[in-house]
A = this chain, B = another copy of it.
Amino acid sequence: MEEEKVFKDPVHKYIYVQDQLIWDLIDTPEFQRLRRIRQLGTTYLVFHGAEHSRFSHSLGVYEITRRIISQFERSEYPDWPREEKLLCLCAALLHDLGHGPFSHSIEEVMEFDHEEWSCHIIEGKTEVNRLLRTVDPDFPRKVASVIRKNYEKPIVVNLVSSQMDADRMDYLLRDAYFTGANYGTFDLDRILRVLRPHQGRIVVKGSGMHAVEDYLMSRYQMYWQVYFHPVTRSSEIILRKILLRAQELCRSGYAFAWIPDPILKLFRGELDVASYLKLDEALVQTAFAAWTEEEDKLLSQLCGRFLHRRLYKYITFEKEHESEAQLCFEELAAAGMDPGYELEIDFPYDLPYHVYRSAAEGLTEGGRGKPPILLLEPSGAVTEISRRSDVVPSITGMHRGQYRLYYDEEAAGRIRRKLKPRTLARLGLEPSGDA
């Protein structure tokens, strides 16, 4: 490239592009599609600023990766494999390429994995694939293997995916910026200054422990304040129920007045890369809007709820009262509420998000866990952070979650005559006068 180019970015000020390949990858239809996928799914229904897309997040992950590598190069650390720079940048930029509309919700209902789709797109017949092959016919496979976490040099995988990778750093800062939740910010420059490539892993200089604590506490705050927000959860429940119902109808041969082809393929498990790339949130939202006029009442009502933000209410149970939540659920179901569509028990503990796990599993390559954060002591020894920090163990595991019972308020109103006084009180309902 003749001259470095920039994107204006509200989080990082500028995003610097120095390789023609990166510039061209951003310009592909596959990457442009990420503009039509929101970064935080339905969170904008609670934090109205959270309308930012996977596109801007992906640029941010690229930029943080670029800065880390640039510092590794400037400091001439011997453990850093300089020849892997472009691979790291491409993997960072493209790791979210496979995200579909409202991914996390859809992934829970349908069985699929966005990282796998990222690899399909990278290795399939796409513009992205064509560009990557200009580097080397094997380059797409390499990029995919970094994303799949089995690339031959673990330090490259470690840079792109760990408990403190560019992905997480960008999304915390970005989500904090767009929601306005300033408790989610931390000092990125300070973190970048203490990262070190060390014997095939990225570690943190010992004196940077407090900087890492600060980062982890931001994560903790964002999880409880934003990602697990009870009203966001409610919107995700509605969304999942819409998908469940539509899929059910689809399987039972119901004739939709209108259903877009890629969604049909999704329900039938027949998605190929070309169709997958047509799935975006505009399409899903347009389908939902159309479905508010479907004959199936359940589907049309759920879609109306989603579109006009009429979400399910909820009652909260402390963790130790799980059985009570269960009993309440059963009472409502017995009284006539539909346990599949009008009720749901939610416990954020089970989610893909987790604050930080230092347990043995985290170190296992095969487990779900991402590699833990390691401190490099002045002695040269490497210590997992929760052994040295007072603060980190307190947020590992997050055992203070609560159970929440979500319910369709109107349906509950209709059956209130059949409910016990205590349940009525919990639901904020008056005992029915005509009982």
A interface, CB within 8 angstroms of B:
3-4, 6-11, 13-14, 27-29, 32, 35-36, 44-45, 47-49, 51-53, 55-56, 59, 75, 177-183, 185-187, 189-190, 193, 210-211, 213-214, 217, 220-221, 224-225, 260, 278, 280-283, 285-286, 289, 307-309, 390-391, 393-395, 398-400
Q: List 12 A-B contacts (CB under 8 A).
A: A10-B49, A11-B180, A14-B189, A32-B309, A51-B52, A182-B187, A183-B187, A220-B391, A282-B283, A282-B286, A282-B289, A390-B399
A339 CA to B47 CA in the complex, in Å?
Answer: 45
- A9 and B285 in contact, given A32-B307, A210-B224, A391-B395 (Cβ under 8 angstroms): no
The 10 closest A-B pairs by CB, nearest first: A10-B180, A394-B394, A282-B285, A286-B286, A29-B308, A282-B282, A10-B49, A48-B56, A183-B214, A8-B180
Q: Out of B59, B285, B395, name the residue touching A390 (CB < 8 Å).
A: B395
Q: A27-B309, A309-B27 are in contact. Are A49 and B44 (CB under 8 A)?
A: no
Assess whether A29 is in contact with B214, with CB atoms less than 8 Å apart.
no
A27 to B307, CA, bound (A): 11
Cβ–Cβ contact A10 & B283, under 8 A: no
CA separation between A14 and B189, bound complex, in Å? 8
Known contacts A13-B189, A189-B13, A308-B32, A48 near B398 by CB under 8 Å: no
Q: Establish whether residues A183 and B183, one from each chain, have CB atoms under 8 Å apart when the complex forms.
A: no
Contacts of A391 in B (CB 8 A): 217, 220, 391, 394-395
Report Cα–Cα, A181/B185, bound state, in Å: 12
Residues of B within 8 A of A52 (CB): 49, 51
Q: Provide the residues of chain B in CB contact with A283, threshold 8 Å.
A: 282, 286, 289
Chain B residues, CB < 8 A from A180:
8-11, 13
A355, chain B: closest CB distance, angstroms: 10
List, in ascending order, chain B residues with CB within 8 A of A35's CB: 44-45, 48, 51
Chain B residues near A308: list those with CB within 8 A.
Answer: 28-29, 32
Contact, CB under 8 Å: A182 / B183:
no
Q: Give chain B nearest CB distance to A409 CB in angstroms.
A: 14
Partner of A179, one of B10, B187, B193: B10
* Known interface pairs A48-B53, A51-B51; 7 further A-B residue pairs with C-beta atoms within 8 A, sorted by A's residue number: A8-B180, A8-B181, A10-B179, A29-B307, A32-B309, A35-B48, A36-B285
Main secondary structure of the interface of A (DSSP, over half): helix
- Contact between A398 and B390 (Cβ–Cβ < 8 Å)? yes
Q: How far is the CB of A238 from chain B (nearest CB, A)?
A: 14
Closest B residue to A394 using CB positions? B394
Most buried by B among A55, A183, A210: A183
How far is B390's CA from A169's CA once the two chains are assembled, in angstroms?
A: 23
A313 to chain B, nearest CB (A): 14
Complexed CA–CA distance, A8 and B286 (Å): 27
Q: Are A221 and B210 in contact (CB under 8 A)?
A: yes
Q: Smallest Cβ distance from A242 to chain B, in angstroms?
A: 15
Interchain CB contact under 8 A, A51 and B48: no
Whole-angstrom distance between the Cβ of A49 and the nearest chain B Cβ = 4
Residue of B nearest to A185 (CB): B182
* A282-B285, A394-B391 known; A55+B59 contact, CB < 8 A: no
Q: Which of A4, A8, A285 has the most CB of B within 10 A?
A: A8
State which of B8, B178, B393, B395 has its C-beta within 8 Å of the C-beta of A47: B8
A8: chain B residues at CB < 8 Å are 47, 49, 179-181
In the complex, are the beta carbons of A75 and B4 less than 8 A apart? Answer: yes
Contact: A53 with B56, CB < 8 Å? no
Q: Which residues of B contact A183 (CB under 8 A)?
A: 186-187, 190, 210-211, 214
Provide the residues of chain B in CB contact with A187, threshold 8 Å: 182-183
A400: chain B residues at CB < 8 Å are 390
Residues of B within 8 A of A280 (CB): 285, 289
Residues of chain B contacted by A221 (CB below 8 angstroms): 210, 213-214
Bound-complex Cα distance A286 to B183 (A): 37
